[in-house]
């Protein structure tokens, strides 16, 4: 059986198994949002047919309700994650000039290093408005983007390999492939949950036109947040593609917006991957799946004047860039009920990235 997490009165996601008997009932306006499914994904990968079906339904329900789920017992090992985080930290410890030598270039490529303040994640599309928001409260983070290796015209921008960076390329490509495999399985779970053949999405995701993003939120003084109430580590946004696999450290700060407009903490749970639906999957599902606004803010206070660095790794999953995306069968009864025109996946993502940088 899949288990869930519930939003307490303080707005924290608490595993249901840890909730005291007198936990208050859900509040008006939260609807299904108060349950974030904590799902044992091994039941889908290796369970009985009944367990596979139940897990798939839990995955779909989580995306339809909150747009976010936690997966435990997924196939990416703790050792692989620990190593990926260590390699990521090695990259961000490099001198600024070494990182800028592989800087981010264009939305079409979406590869390379983005220095603090360059990107402003937001759902705004007007470039002038994005610029105003960026100037008022720049995101306090730096990142490094890795795309599909061998994509014609868009080579990855690999840093010079030396010292602790000696195996960076092989390590990151290996982790990229593990995430790609998990992406395929999550999409299969969505298909089964929707009553489709489990291979329905395979032809849309087999190329692996995805982005592995290493993220570093540098150490920051708590006074920075006091001086500017709008300051965040990453601004309010929804993700652009189909799903996102997010691996967090234990620092905290990720928040998800509820239907009431209130942000609640998506507390890190050791050994899990947070998976959220993106805008293109919401569109693909005719809005039966939710792409939920989220952000990274001042972490929970520990009584210190300085917050330590935060690291996360996001794997942004997309339909193959050549794919034409139409409403999924079963999400509409008549052609008139389709909310969106068909769109090319690659074109859509470039449009969204152009407004971000």
Q: What is the CATH number of the domain that holds 60?
A: 2.60.120.330
Alpha-carbon distances, residue 237 vs 122, 191, 295 (angstroms): 5, 26, 6
Indicate the helix (H) or strand (E) that contains 293: none
Distance, in Å, from the CA atom of 294 to the CA atom of 255, rounded to the nearest integer, reads: 6
Domain count, the chain: 1
Block residue for tokens 């599309």: 125
Contact 339, 285 (CB under 8 A): no
Residues with Cβ within 8 Å of 241's Cβ and at least 6 positions away in sequence, in order, are 210, 278, 279, 280, 281, 316, 317, 318, 319, 349
Question: What is the Cα 154 distance to its own chain's centre?
Answer: 23
Q: Does any domain span residue 297?
A: yes
76 within domain boundaries = yes
With tokens 């001042």, the residue in question is 298
Count the residues in the chain.
Answer: 357
Distance CA 168, CA 77 (A): 19
**Any domain includes 264:** yes
- β-bridge mates for residue 70, sequence order: 38, 274
Tokens 């800028």 belong to 100
Average pLDDT per block of 10 residues along the chain, 357 residues long: 38 37 35 67 98 97 94 98 98 96 93 79 47 56 96 96 95 98 98 98 97 93 76 84 96 86 88 96 97 86 78 97 96 95 94 78
- 208: phi > 0 → left, psi -120 to 50 → alpha, else beta; which? left
Token pair in block for residue 87:
């390699």
> Residue 35: its pLDDT value, please?
55
Helix (H, G, I), strand (E, B) or coil at 126: coil
The mean predicted confidence, pLDDT, of the chain is: 85
Q: What is the dihedral of CA 342, 346, 348, 353, to 10 degrees?
A: 170
Which structural domain range is residue 258 located in? 37-356
Cα–Cα distance for residue pair 240/353, rounded to 1 Å = 8
What span, in angstroms and rounded, lies between the C-alpha atoms of 304 and 307? 7
| Any domain includes 20 | no
Say if residues 99 and 334 touch (Cβ distance below 8 Å): no
pLDDT at 155: 97
Structural domain includes residue 17: no
């Amino acid at each position: 059986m899949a288990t869930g997490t519930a939003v307490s009165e303080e707005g924290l996601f608490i595993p249901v198994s840890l909730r005291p008997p007198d936990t208050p009932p859900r509040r008006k306006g939260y609807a299904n949002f108060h349950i974030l499914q904590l799902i044992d994904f091994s039941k889908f990968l290796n369970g009985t047919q009944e367990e596979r079906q139940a897990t798939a339904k839990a995955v779909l329900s989580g995306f339809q309700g909150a747009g976010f789920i936690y997966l435990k017992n997924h196939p990416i090992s703790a050792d692989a994650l620990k190593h990926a985080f260590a390699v990521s930290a090695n990259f961000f410890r490099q001198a600024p000039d070494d990182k800028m030598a592989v800087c981010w270039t264009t939305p079409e490529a979406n590869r390379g290093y983005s220095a603090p303040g360059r990107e402003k994640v937001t759902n705004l599309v007007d470039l002038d408005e994005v610029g105003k928001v960026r100037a008022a409260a720049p995101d306090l983070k730096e990142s490094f983007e890795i795309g599909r290796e061998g994509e014609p015209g868009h080579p990855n921008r690999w840093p010079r390999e030396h010292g602790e960076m000696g195996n960076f390329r092989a390590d990151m490509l290996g982790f990229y492939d593990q995430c790609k495999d998990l992406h395929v399985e999550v999409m299969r779970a969505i298909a089964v949950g929707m009553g489709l053949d489990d291979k329905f999405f395979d032809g849309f995701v087999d190329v692996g036109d995805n982005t592995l993003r290493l993220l570093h939120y540098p150490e920051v003084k708590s006074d920075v947040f006091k001086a500017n109430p709008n300051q965040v580590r990453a601004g309010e946004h929804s993700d652009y593609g189909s799903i996102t696999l997010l691996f967090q450290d234990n620092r905290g700060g990720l928040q998800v917006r509820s239907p009431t407009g209130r942000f609640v903490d998506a507390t890190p749970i050791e050994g899990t991957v947070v998976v959220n639906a993106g805008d293109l999957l919401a569109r693909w599902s005719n809005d039966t799946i939710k792409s939920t606004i989220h952000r990274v803010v001042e972490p929970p206070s520990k009584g210190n004047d300085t917050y330590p660095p935060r690291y996360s790794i996001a794997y942004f999953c997309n339909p193959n860039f050549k794919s034409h995306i139409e409403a999924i069968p079963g999400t509409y009864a008549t052609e008139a009920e389709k909310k969106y025109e068909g769109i090319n996946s690659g074109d859509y993502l470039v449009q969204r990235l152009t407004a971000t940088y």
